[in-house]
């Protein structure tokens, strides 16, 4: 993967998957622009002092004006990778409207606004580009969303939006795709489910490799895909 002289925005870049994506991008020569909300995450981010990394404080990714300002500050944007989001598990009878709206804002609205800003920036540059969103297994396999209906609905919205946007901007040279992870092999997930078969879960480095391909110049034809990254789980 050759990302030399290419600028990439990675939301959620300070998380477990985000760190793996940033590591792969740096190795490929990319300049990484990483918005963060929680200062403590930025402080412990392993690449915070790397010359190819720029950390950008934001209040939220669900505000149109703030997201627009974020992207206006990125020169020659090539790719926008959207990993930021949130998870909530609760039966429907215990899920309030505010819970649903929080999931929509964290997972769908943030992706929508970042895509909009990225498309506007890429279109002005007239060089095309790449966008990668993050759906989830319940976005493709709806029955697996039982007990987490608000989360499943928000991620299904991301999947539908990705496919529609990919068709809308195809003639501009912007290729839009999404990944749909299952449970990933992270310390937090292992701690939460100590009895699970952790070896069957995909590693973040493996999922990152798929993202880096979809966002890279080597991807010349794949668009509108919601790519399952399940490992053996």
- Predicted confidence (pLDDT) per residue in 140-183, tens digit: 999 999 999 999 999 999 999 999 999 999 999 999 999 999 99
Is the per-residue pLDDT at 52 higher than 90? yes
Looking at residue 126, its pLDDT comes to: 82
| 207 contacts: CB under 8 Å, gap ≥ 6 | 17, 20, 179, 181, 184, 229
Looking at residue 15, its pLDDT comes to: 95
> Is residue 138 very low, low, confident or very high in pLDDT (cuts 50, 70, 90)?
very high
> Is residue 209 very low, low, confident or very high in pLDDT (cuts 50, 70, 90)?
very high
- Decide if 116 contacts 46 (C-beta within 8 A): no
Which phi and psi angles does 188 have, rounded to 5°? Answer: -65, -45
- Could you give the percent of the chain with pLDDT greater than 90? 94
Rg (CA), the chain: 17
In the predicted model, what is the mean pLDDT of residues 45-58? 97
Alpha-carbon distance of 113 to 210, in angstroms, equals 23
- Decide if 3 contacts 214 (C-beta within 8 A): no
> Is residue 200 very low, low, confident or very high in pLDDT (cuts 50, 70, 90)?
very high
Looking at residue 75, its pLDDT comes to: 87
* DSSP classification of residue 202: P
* Domain segments of the chain as ranges: 7-229
Both tokens of 41, joined, read 């995450």
Alpha-carbon distance of 19 to 131, in angstroms, equals 18
Please enumerate, as own/partner, the contacts of 118-123 that have beta carbons within 8 Å and a separation of 24 or more.
118/9, 118/71, 118/77, 118/80, 119/165, 119/169, 119/172, 119/174, 120/68, 120/71, 121/71, 121/72, 121/74, 121/77, 122/77, 122/172, 122/174, 123/169, 123/172, 123/174
Which phi and psi angles does 81 have, rounded to 5°? Answer: -115, 125
Alpha-carbon 63 to chain mean position: 17
Is the per-residue pLDDT at 224 higher than 90? yes
230 catalytic? Reply is no
Alpha-carbon distance of 1 to 197, in angstroms, equals 32
Of 3, 71, 151, 230, catalytic:
151
Is the per-residue pLDDT at 63 higher than 90? yes
pTM for this one? 0.96
Q: Which CATH number fits domain 7-229: 3.40.50.670, 3.30.43.10, 3.40.50.720, 1.10.630.10?
A: 3.40.50.720
Alpha-carbon distance of 78 to 174, in angstroms, equals 9
Number of Cβ within 10 Å of residue 232's Cβ equals 9
């Amino acid at each position: 993967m050759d990302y030399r002289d290419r600028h990439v925005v990675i939301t959620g870049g300070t998380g477990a998957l985000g760190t793996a994506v940033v590591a792969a991008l740096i190795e490929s020569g990319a300049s990484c622009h990483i918005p963060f909300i929680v200062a403590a995450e930025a402080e412990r981010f392993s690449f915070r002092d790397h010359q190819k990394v720029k950390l950008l404080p934001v209040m939220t990714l669900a505000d149109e004006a703030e997201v627009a300002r974020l992207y206006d500050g990125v020169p020659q944007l090539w790719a926008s990778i959207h990993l930021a989001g949130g998870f909530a598990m609760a039966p429907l009878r215990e899920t309030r409207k505010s819970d649903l709206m929080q999931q929509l804002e964290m997972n769908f609205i943030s992706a929508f606004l970042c895509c909009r800003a990225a498309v506007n920036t890429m279109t002005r540059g007239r060089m095309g580009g790449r966008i990668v969103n993050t759906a989830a297994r319940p976005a493709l396999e709806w029955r697996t969303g039982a007990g987490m209906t608000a989360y499943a609905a928000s991620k299904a919205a991301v999947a539908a939006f990705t496919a529609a946007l990919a068709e809308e901007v195809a003639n501009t040279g912007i290729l839009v795709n999404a990944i749909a992870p299952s449970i990933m092999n992270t310390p937090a997930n292992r701690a939460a489910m100590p009895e699970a078969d952790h070896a069957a879960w995909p590693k973040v480095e493996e999922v990152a490799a798929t993202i880096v391909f979809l966002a890279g110049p080597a991807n010349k034809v794949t668009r509108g895909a919601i790519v399952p990254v399940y490992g053996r789980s």
